């Protein structure tokens, strides 16, 4: 059969040259192996053949990398086969015939070596004309295989390197997107919606994940759904009970693939809603948040690398969400702060801007507002040359509402006293009017303890009405008395009972101290109150001094007493002394 | 690189492939795909017209070898026709005329199927 004419030699050489050029020009394993098969089959009139590549690290396991003339679905599958030591042999030479070999009955087997490394084997069927392969033909095939070996080896190495490269560039891409996200998440004006949107985009962009649900603890430690595009019905699951359990099962502490037959009904439910991955975030040994993800667009399973990356994204997003919540808290504190600033401004504006000069008397007053403005009020109003009104009050509540109420009583007091005429002034009646006014204009839980008195520096009398305020002290000689006459707290009752007027006579060195409960109820670390006894002690020991010094001494004693404890309530005092 | 193209037409149950240009290892992939498609559609009577083919390499020949058995096992065949002398010489040199029916005209090849 063999024709040895020059034209045939020419064709053989041509095909070898063409072949070697082609396979060296491409780093594509399938292309190279397909060419080996087709060229050999075309030249040798063989109708079937495969190339089996050795699997690294596993003897006798081969990968079907190229196949012609057989069932192509076998491509890329793995088969077991044990071949003799020879480099070229036939079917009959095979001692142990595996299933694959038996089934396909390839006739010729030629091993492929690169240098001394065994790469795989070329298996060929019989010639279609039933002739045997000649020696020359076998040598020709061996030559082809030798030419191909380096290309095959290079390609295998290239595939390994490019796999490595791919996974590296994938890692780089992931790191970049984490970096970008980190930057976005840390920008200052990010809100909850934006964080969730960013998360959504990066899940879509990196994995094509459309569906996800975030379940997170709110400020009250209750699990709430932050984001859900599948409309989960979680009401029937007591998530707080499942996830807040101190004996939380270990399975739920780590990222898991959601399975249908989970021991946890909630997980099975998630499976039925199409979720695939359950990623919990643990803070202080408790589940803080859970993110469940739907399928990837590619439909492939989540790999270990995917999960690592996803966990990083989740952590980043959740930290941002927490920051967001903290920021919100900070903002609302800021809001309270600014409200307090308004309250303080109102209070300062309402306090008397100067201390009146009174013949034979000296007077001093102070207001030390607490952080959360208590709404204390004191005032001096000069009615005539001889008559001066002293007012002290404590408005219920704190902050702006208290300041506004304080403003109302201040304006009521000032309005009524503007109309003062000595003949017709009815002290008790005016107090009733003020009560009515406050009562009508405020809700019942708002009230004012109120004390006011009129000092007559000519008659040396002090007429007063005490509407539910801490009774001021009068120190006369060595005796303290309390100024209790008056009536009900301002703003609680319609004036039915009226107010009594108290009246005391003042002699030289008599001292009257008006104060609010911020003074006597100032607390130390042991939760003891400063108390009336301490107050009296300071007054007594400073009774020789002027009112401003007495006032300063009381302040200092309170500071000494409370030490580092914060001031809870406004401290307000007026000290009046007859000096001559 | 020279072009290679395949035109397919159907004559009753016979699929006719008209090859044009340069069939080498590189372009044989295209021919292979074409055969795979025809075989997967259960069309086993195939005629290949070589009239416009200017070159064929052994890899190109290999494609015919890879499909001849599945065609014949299913009561079909791959018949070749209208080769230039140059192309025929290559087929002849490799012993194809013994294994494949080769006709001068497409018409004759069609007649041989019926």
Q: Which of chain A's residues have a Cβ under 8 Å away from the Cβ of B39?
A: none
Which among A38, A128, A129 has the least Cβ separation from residue B25? Answer: A38
Q: How many Cβ atoms from other residues are within 10 Å of residue B48's Cβ?
A: 26
Q: Report the SS3 class of residue A467.
A: strand
In which domain, by residue range, is A282 found? 187-327
Which among B26, B29, B65 has the least Cβ separation from residue A42? Answer: B65
Are A469 and A429 found together in one domain? yes
Q: Does any domain span residue A420?
A: yes
Which residue in A has a C-alpha nearest to residue B24's C-alpha? Answer: A18
What is the per-residue pLDDT for A189?
Answer: 55
Residues B103 and B91: beta-carbon distance below 8 Å: no
Radius of gyration of chain B (CA): 13
For chain A, say whether B35 makes contact (Cβ under 8 Å). no
Q: Does any domain span residue A41?
A: yes
For chain B, say whether A41 makes contact (Cβ under 8 Å). yes
Beta-sheet pairing, A473-476 with A511-515: antiparallel
For chain A, say whether B26 makes contact (Cβ under 8 Å). yes
For chain B, say whether A105 makes contact (Cβ under 8 Å). no
Q: Which of chain B's residues have a Cβ under 8 Å away from the Cβ of A11?
A: 58, 90, 93-94
Question: CA dist A28 to A167, A247, A283, Å?
Answer: 19, 55, 50
DSSP for B76-88 reads -EEEEE---HHHH
Are A226 and A367 found together in one domain? no
Q: Do B93 and A8 touch (CB under 8 A)?
A: yes
Are A153 and A278 found together in one domain? no
Q: Which of chain B's residues have a Cβ under 8 Å away from the Cβ of A4?
A: none
DSSP for A341-358 reads HHHHHHHHHHS-SSPPPB
Are A409 and A548 found together in one domain? yes
Q: How many Cβ atoms from other residues are within 10 Å of residue A461's Cβ?
A: 15
Complex ipTM: 0.73
Q: Which of chain B's residues have a Cβ under 8 Å away from the Cβ of A30?
A: none
Measured between alpha carbons, how far is B62 from A45 in angstroms, rounded to an integer?
A: 8
Q: Which of chain A's residues have a Cβ under 8 Å away from the Cβ of B95?
A: 1, 45, 129
Beta carbon pairs, A and B, within 8 Å? 94
- Chain B interface, mutation test: which of A31, A38, A105, A132, most B Cβ atoms within 10 Å? A38
Q: Do B94 and A43 touch (CB under 8 A)?
A: yes
Residue-wise pLDDT for A86-141, tens only, equals: 999 999 999 888 888 888 999 999 999 988 889 999 999 999 888 899 998 899 89
How many residues in chain A? 580
For chain A, say whether B68 makes contact (Cβ under 8 Å). yes
To the nearest whole percent, how much of chain A has pLDDT over 90? Answer: 30
Above 90 in pLDDT, residue B47?
yes
How many residues in chain B? 114
Q: Which of chain B's residues have a Cβ under 8 Å away from the Cβ of A39?
A: 25, 57-59, 62
Above 70 in pLDDT, residue A246?
no
Residue A60 C-alpha, separation from nearest chain B C-alpha, in angstroms: 27
More confident residue, A246 or A559: A559
Q: Does any domain span residue A338?
A: no
Above 80 in pLDDT, residue A495?
no
Q: Do B25 and A18 touch (CB under 8 A)?
A: yes
Q: Report the SS3 class of residue B39.
A: helix
Q: Report the SS3 class of residue A505.
A: strand
For chain B, say whether A13 makes contact (Cβ under 8 Å). no
B4-11: strand order across its sheet:
B4-11, B14-23, B45-56, B77-81, B102-103
Are A298 and A444 found together in one domain? no
Q: Which of chain A's residues have a Cβ under 8 Å away from the Cβ of B57?
A: 14-15, 18, 39, 42
More confident residue, A310 or A454: A454
Residue-wise pLDDT for A535-554, tens only, equals: 999 999 999 999 999 999 99
Which among B25, B69, B95 has the least Cβ separation from residue A35? Answer: B25
More confident residue, A4 or A320: A320
Residue-wise pLDDT for A396-440, tens only, equals: 877 777 888 888 888 888 888 887 888 888 999 999 988 888 888
Are A380 and A450 found together in one domain? yes
Q: Do A69 and B61 touch (CB under 8 A)?
A: no
Q: Please work out, in degrees rounded to the nearest 5, the angle formed at the alpha carbon of residue A550 by the alpha carbons of A549 and A555.
A: 95
Residue A3 C-alpha, separation from nearest chain B C-alpha, in angstroms: 8
Measured between alpha carbons, how far is A118 from B98 in angstroms, rounded to an integer?
A: 37
Q: Does any domain span residue A518?
A: yes
Q: Do A68 and B70 touch (CB under 8 A)?
A: no
- Chain B interface, mutation test: which of A4, A22, A25, A47, most B Cβ atoms within 10 Å? A47
Section B89-101 average pLDDT: 84
Which residue in A has a C-alpha nearest to residue B35's C-alpha? Answer: A69
Q: Does any domain span residue A173?
A: no
Q: Which of chain B's residues have a Cβ under 8 Å away from the Cβ of A47?
A: 65-66, 68-69
Are A309 and A364 found together in one domain? no
What is the per-residue pLDDT for A120?
Answer: 93
For chain A, say whether B39 makes contact (Cβ under 8 Å). no
Number of structural domains, chain B?
A: 1
Q: Which of chain B's residues have a Cβ under 8 Å away from the Cβ of A72?
A: 36
Are A23 and A115 found together in one domain? yes
Which among B58, B67, B70 has the least Cβ separation from residue A39? Answer: B58
CATH classification of the domain holding A11: 3.30.450.40
Q: Which of chain A's residues have a Cβ under 8 Å away from the Cβ of B60?
A: 38, 42
Q: Does any domain span residue A224?
A: yes
Residue B31 C-alpha, separation from nearest chain A C-alpha, in angstroms: 12
Burial class (CB in 10 A: 0-12, 13-18, 19+), A93: exposed
Question: CA dist A30 to A23, A35, A164, Å?
Answer: 10, 8, 19
For chain A, say whether B55 makes contact (Cβ under 8 Å). no
Confidence of residue B40 (pLDDT cuts 50, 70, 90): very high
Are A14 and A117 found together in one domain? yes
Are A557 and A465 found together in one domain? yes
Above 70 in pLDDT, residue B2?
no
In which domain, by residue range, is B73 found? 4-113
More confident residue, A561 or A300: A561
Section B9-34 average pLDDT: 89
Confidence of residue A1 (pLDDT cuts 50, 70, 90): very low
For chain A, say whether B94 makes contact (Cβ under 8 Å). yes
Q: Which helix (H) or strand (E) holds B43?
A: none
Above 80 in pLDDT, residue A371?
no
Q: Does any domain span residue A90?
A: yes
For chain B, say whether A320 makes contact (Cβ under 8 Å). no
Measured between alpha carbons, how far is A16 from A143 in angstroms, rounded to an integer?
A: 9
Which residue in A has a C-alpha nearest to residue B92's C-alpha? Answer: A8
Which residue in B has a C-alpha nearest to residue A26's C-alpha? Answer: B26
What is the per-residue pLDDT for A431?
Answer: 92
Which residue in B has a C-alpha nearest to residue A71's C-alpha? Answer: B70
The tokens 């007053």 sit on which residue?
A: A365
Number of structural domains, chain A?
A: 3
Strand partners, A393: A377, A450
Residues B91 and B82: beta-carbon distance below 8 Å: no
Are A317 and A423 found together in one domain? no
Q: Does any domain span residue A532?
A: yes
For chain A, say whether B29 makes contact (Cβ under 8 Å). yes
Which among A11, A48, A129 has the least Cβ separation from residue B95? Answer: A129
Measured between alpha carbons, how far is A428 from A498 in angstroms, rounded to an integer?
A: 7
What pTM does this model have? 0.45
Beta-sheet pairing, B4-11 with B14-23: antiparallel
């Amino acid at each position: 059969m063999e024709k040895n004419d020059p034209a045939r030699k020419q064709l053989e050489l041509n095909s070898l040259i063409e072949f070697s050029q082609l396979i060296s020009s491409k780093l594509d394993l399938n292309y190279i192996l397909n060419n080996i098969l087709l060229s050999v089959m075309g030249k040798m009139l063989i109708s079937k053949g495969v190339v089996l590549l050795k699997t690294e690290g596993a003897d006798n396991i081969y990968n079907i990398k190229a196949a012609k003339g057989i069932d192509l679905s076998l491509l890329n599958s793995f088969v077991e086969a044990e071949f003799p030591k020879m480099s070229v042999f036939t079917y009959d030479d095979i001692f142990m015939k595996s299933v694959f070999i038996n089934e396909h009955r390839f006739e010729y087997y030629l091993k492929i070596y690169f240098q001394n490394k065994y790469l795989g084997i070329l298996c060929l069927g019989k010639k279609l004309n039933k002739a045997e392969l000649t020696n020359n033909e076998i040598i020709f095939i061996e030559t082809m295989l030798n030419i191909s070996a380096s290309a095959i080896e290079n390609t295998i190495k290239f595939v390994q390197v490019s796999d490595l490269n791919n996974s590296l560039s994938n890692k780089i891409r992931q790191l970049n997107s984490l970096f970008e996200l980190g930057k976005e998440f840390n920008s200052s004006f990010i809100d909850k919606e934006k964080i969730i949107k960013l998360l959504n985009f990066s899940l879509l962009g990196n994995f094509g994940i459309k569906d996800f649900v975030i379940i997170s603890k709110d400020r009250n430690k209750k699990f709430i759904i932050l984001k859900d595009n599948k409309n989960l019905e979680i009401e029937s699951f007591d998530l707080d009970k499942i996830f807040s359990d101190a004996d939380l099962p270990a399975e739920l502490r780590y990222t898991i693939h959601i399975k249908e037959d989970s021991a946890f009904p909630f997980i099975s439910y998630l499976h039925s809603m199409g979720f695939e991955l359950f990623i919990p975030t643990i803070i202080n040994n408790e589940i803080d948040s859970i993110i469940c993800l739907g399928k990837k667009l590619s439909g492939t399973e989540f790999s270990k690398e995917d999960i690592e990356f996803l966990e990083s994204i989740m952590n980043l997003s959740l930290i941002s969400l927490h920051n967001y919540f903290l920021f919100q808290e900070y903002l609302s504190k800021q809001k309270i702060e600014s409200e307090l600033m308004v309250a303080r401004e109102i209070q300062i504006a309402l306090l008397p801007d100067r201390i009146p000069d009174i013949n034979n008397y000296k007077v001093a007053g102070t207001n030390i507002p607490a952080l959360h403005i208590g709404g204390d009020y004191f005032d001096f109003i000069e009615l005539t040359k001889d008559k001066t009104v002293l007012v002290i009050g404590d408005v219920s509540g704190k902050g702006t509402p208290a300041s506004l109420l304080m403003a109302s009583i201040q304006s009521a007091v000032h309005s009524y006293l503007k109309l003062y005429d000595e003949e017709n002034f009815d002290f008790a009646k005016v107090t009733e009017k003020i009560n009515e006014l406050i009562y009508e204009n405020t809700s019942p839980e708002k009230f004012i303890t109120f004390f006011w008195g009129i000092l007559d520096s000519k008659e040396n009398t002090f007429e007063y009405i005490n509407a539910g305020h801490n009774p001021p002290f009068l120190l006369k000689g060595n005796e303290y008395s309390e100024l209790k006459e008056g009536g009900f707290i301002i703003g609680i009752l319609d004036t039915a009972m009226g107010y009594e007027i108290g009246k005391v006579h003042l002699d030289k060195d008599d001292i009257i101290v008006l104060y609010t409960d911020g003074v006597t109820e100032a607390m130390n670390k042991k939760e003891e109150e400063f108390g009336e006894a301490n107050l009296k002690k300071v007054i007594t020991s400073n009774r020789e001094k002027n009112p401003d010094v007495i006032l300063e001494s009381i302040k200092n004693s309170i500071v000494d007493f409370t030490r580092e404890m914060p001031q809870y309530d406004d401290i307000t005092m007026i000290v009046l002394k007859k000096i001559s | 690189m020279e072009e290679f193209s395949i035109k397919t037409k159907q004559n009753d149950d016979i699929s006719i492939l008209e090859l044009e240009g340069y069939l080498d290892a590189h372009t044989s992939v295209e021919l292979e795909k074409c055969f795979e498609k025809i075989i997967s559609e259960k069309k086993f009577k195939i005629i290949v017209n070589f009239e416009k083919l200017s070159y064929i390499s052994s890899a190109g020949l290999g494609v015919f070898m890879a499909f001849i058995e599945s065609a014949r096992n299913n009561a079909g065949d791959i018949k070749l026709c209208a080769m230039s002398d140059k192309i025929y010489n290559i087929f002849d040199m490799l012993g194809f005329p013994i294994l494949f029916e080769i006709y001068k005209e497409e018409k004759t090849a069609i007649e041989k199927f019926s």
